Amino acid sequence: MLRNSVVIIDRGYYEELVKEVENLLKEYGELRELSIKEWLYSQDPASVDISIIKRGFEFVRSEVEFLKEQILEKPVDEVKNSPILSRVLERSYQLIVEALADIARHITSSMGWGPCFTASECFKRIAEKNVIPEQLVEELIKRMKVRNIIIHRYLDVDYEELYKDTHKLISLTHEFEEHIVKFLRNLK
């Protein structure tokens, strides 16, 4: 798509940006297709599969417990100075954020609220439908941005900040689950 465009200014990383955009567009397409397929092929296209939500939250809880036991009990300096511990922290953070986004995507697509092209859109969509409060959406989108930094290496990861933010993420997972459970109870 961008390969045939005219480059007006190249600061030396044009090719990297092209690859990044192409990867993002592929990711958007995959997310959209997944949402549509999930909705179309569900037993009842107008219902949320509670077992998918439950598995998602079980996974989040297991990652949170792992982080608490293996990473967050250690001093921040030990974590940030250990290549293994810092990478485990990154990966668990990423997996938790992605699991929350998957839950939001499942609800959005199952309820027929339209496909989302980004995880942030999924969070916004369920807020528009009063499933979660707007303030929680803003916090989750911040964590999605941190996840993107981890995945795409836009910036160097500040492990001290990531360590601190992981505590906040854990708190947000509990709040997110409370709102989702309340929403599901009101469906029945």
pLDDT of residue 47: 77
pLDDT tens, 147-162?
999 998 767 899 999 9
Kindly compute the dihedral angle of the four CA atoms of residues 112, 55, 159, 66, in this order, to the nearest 10 degrees: 170
Tell me if 108 sits within 8 A of 125, measured CB to CB: yes
Q: Radius of gyration over alpha carbons of the chain, in Å? A: 18
What's the whole-model pTM score?
A: 0.78
pLDDT tens, 18-34?
566 556 555 656 666 66
Spell out the domains of the chain, with CATH numbers in brackets.
Answer: 14-187 (1.20.120.580)
Tell me if 147 sits within 8 A of 104, measured CB to CB: no
